[in-house]
Amino acid sequence: MTDIENIKRTLKGGGAMNEVNTWQDYFNLTKQMREMQKKYFKTRNYTVLEESKRLENEVDRAIKKIETTQIENAEKQEPRLF
């Protein structure tokens, strides 16, 4: 099965959401996104573009999750003055 066929199958199923729980997961997700972006600019294939956008959205959600977790952790560690 070609990369394009794999992408179409993933998109047809709504796309598997990558769970990001570690920095390694984040690294792997970002790497996938960059590879897909490069592939799109090389091929200009619409299906590759859709997969690239899906991965970009997942990276954005992972960033938001990391930011939220860091804020929550900081609030737990800081003593309240009032």
Q: Going from the first residue of the chain to its last (82 residues), give the mean pLDDT of each consecutive group of 10, the final group possibly shorter.
A: 54 56 90 97 96 96 87 73 62
Number of domains in the chain: 1
Residue 4 lies in a domain: no
**pLDDT at position 55:** 96
**In this structure, are residues 11 and 50 in contact, taking their beta carbons and an 8 Å threshold?**
yes
Residue 12 lies in a domain: no
* Domain hosting residue 42, numbered range: 20-76
What's the token pair of residue 36?
């897909």
Residue 11 lies in a domain: no
**pLDDT at position 5:** 59
State the Cα–Cα distance between residues 15 and 54, nearest whole angstrom: 8
